[in-house]
Structure 1
Amino acid sequence: MNSRVDIPVVLITGALTGIARATALAFARKGAKVVASGRHEGAGSALATELRTAGAEAEFVRADVRLEEDVRALVDATVKRFGRLDVAVNAAGTEGKPGPATEQTAESYAATFDTNVLGTILSMKHELRVMQAQGSGSIINISSTFGHEGGAGASIYAASKHAVEGLTKSVALEFGASGIRVNAVAPGPIQTPMLDRFTGSEDVKAYLATLNAQKRIGQPDEIARAVLYLASDDASFVTGHILNVDGGKSAS
């Protein structure tokens, strides 16, 4: 994750479910020091216990990524507990309100963009504050294949992930000379509570599975392994990259 530290310190937002939870557990099994964040104390405390059982030094810090003071306090708490920040995985996100553009409102736009875009901006702002002082760090944002392909019935969500990918590339250019790498993972359809909410039925989910080369829905652990790669020294010359992990969906 960073050759200058034996045990990396990893911060993960939105860590209570889905891809982010799988990522937290994957880092824990590698022996990382993990700070998991989310909005629900009970689930967060339970996750921290599970991460410790998996082999990590781990803490849960409650934070809402839409609120800058929460994000500032989260990053500061990470540094206070572990002394540094080597890897940040910005995974907090929402699917928003599925449906055509004609059904969207200013409220549905704000609800989606405040979490997916503002939350990513605020998270990177404070992660970079620490990493720039260290002269090293790796940030991985969680996007979606909708972020560069679009998706019917997902106009606002797709637009928010377009923004995440633009942010990823721009910040990579801004901070590459500071020893900080910034990348994103763009999953295809992955078996998560978000996918269940978005599709609303097993029939729709089965249809989505037909759109990729492997003809299946991916698993959160498969995304977690991609995140671990981008965080590792194996990806030391990779920055500003959007890594598709989609079963071949983007090849069509």
Structure 2
Amino acid sequence: MGLLSGKTALVTGAARGIGKALALRFAEEGANIAFTDLVIDENGEATRQEIEAKGVKCLAYASNAADFAETEEIVKKIHADFGQIDILVNNAGITKDGLMLRMSEAQWDAVINVNLKSAFNFIHACLPIMMRQRGGSIINMSSVVGVHGNAGQANYSASKAGMIALAKSVAQEMGSRGVRANSIAPGFIETAMTHQLPEDVRKDWMQKIPLRRGGQAEDVANVAVFLASDLSSYVTGQVIQVDGGMNM
């Protein structure tokens, strides 16, 4: 029996990257998986099949997470398809970096809507279900820049900081109903995006990390399993930094 056997997890933005790693790890622990992405293309279908091969039920849903009404309908459909939603991971996110002086309103709005408003949308839609079930675990995928800020990422940092405060507020509101809410703040994680960075930038990053290496998506997924499972039944309103000690 896996740590998440009998549970259903909803992971947003999970067709690739960290979201995909989370979904696969949850499936290995026995959770049925519903995941969303803006478009479910060949890569999304391949992800769905890879998750399903773990021996669990997996369905993929095309969804604009930043759209409130669309999110309400998608969550209703997922609940109808699975009968329950025990775990929600708000992972959908984008970056549109730029210095504050040069940042456009469109850059700001896009990142806040996709990263932060989407978390509000899905929490708002899932809370009534979790309240009726008298339990649930909400995990907001934040970032170390949401804790410490980062030059050139005012919009992204603000959205990720907002996700932390959102989780803390939900934790306070919903604790008596058995619903927990926490955040994960990854640091330098080895992904397709970070592999595109110049080598000197990568080396500079590594020198700032006490463990002297970048993290793997699986490192984040393992912490997510802990927060999603009953192992963390007395943990709520917390932020766990998965950053190799980069920001102590």
Aligned match of 1:61: 61
Give the 3 Å change call, closer, same or farther, for CA 48–184 of structure 1 in structure 2: same
Name 1:177's counterpart in structure 2.
176
- Distance in 1 separating the partners of 2:206 and 2:75: 37
Query: Retained in 2: the 8 A contact 1:94–1:194?
Result: no
Deviations 1:180-220 (A, max 9, x none): 000010000111234356xx423212211221111111110
Q: In 2, Cα distance between the equivalents of 1:28 and 1:122?
A: 24
Task: Give the secondary structure class of the aligned counterpart of 1:238.
Answer: coil
Moved more, 62-71 or 140-149: 62-71
- The equivalent position to 1:227 in structure 2, one of 214, 218, 224, is 224
How do 1:45-124 and structure 2 match up within 5 A?
A: 45-96=45-96, 98-124=97-123
Which whole-Å deviations, capped at 9, do the CAs of 1:206-237 have from their partners, x for residues lacking one? 21122111111111010000000001111000
* 1:95-244 matched pairs, under 5 angstroms: 95-96=95-96, 98-196=97-195, 200-244=197-241
- Separation in structure 2 between the aligned mates of residue 60 and residue 193 of structure 1, nearest angstrom: 22
Q: Specify every segment of 5 or more residues in structure 1 that has no aligned partner in the other structure, as ranges.
A: none
Native 8 Å contact 2:5 2:29 kept in 1:
no
Question: Where has structure 1 moved over 3 Å in runs of 4 or more?
Answer: 193-197
Shift, 1:248, TM fit: 0.3
One-letter code of the match for 2:226?
A: Y
Q: How many residues align?
A: 247
Measured against aligned partners, the alpha-carbon deviations of 1:17-41 in whole angstroms (never above 9, x if no partner) come to: 2111100110111121100110122
* Mean Cα deviation higher: 150-159 or 136-145: 150-159
Deviations 1:50-88 (A, max 9, x none): 111122211101111011122112211221111111001
CA shift in 2, pair 1:75/1:194, >3 Å: farther
Counterparts of 1:7-46 in structure 2, within 5 Å, are: 7-42=6-41, 43-46=43-46
TM score, norm. by length of structure 2: 0.94
The two structures, once aligned, show a CA RMSD in angstroms of: 1.8
SS in 2 for 1:41: coil
- Given the superposition, is the C-alpha separation of residues 174 and 194 from structure 1 closer, same or farther in structure 2, using an over 3 Å criterion? farther
Q: Deviations over 1:126-155 (max 9, x none)?
A: 111211121110000100010110112212
Corresponding letter in the other structure for 1:52: E
1:94/1:196 Cα in 2 relative to 1: closer, same or farther (>3 Å)? farther
Q: What 5-or-longer segments of structure 2 have no aligned partner? A: none
Residues in 1 aligned to 2:32 and 2:160: alpha-carbon distance in whole angstroms? 28
Cα distance change, pair 6–49 in 1 and its aligned pair in 2 (3 A): closer
Q: Secondary structure at the match of 1:250?
A: coil
Q: 1:85 to 1:213 in 2, by over 3 A?
A: same
Q: 1:169 Cα deviation (Å)?
A: 0.6
When structure 1 is superposed on structure 2, of 228-237 and 68-77 the one drifting more is 68-77
Distance in 1, Cα, partners of 2:114 & 2:187: 20
The answer (yes or no) to whether the contact 1:95–1:194 under 8 Å persists in 2 is no
Question: Which is further off, 204-213 or 20-29?
Answer: 204-213
Equivalent residue number for residue 247 of structure 1? 244
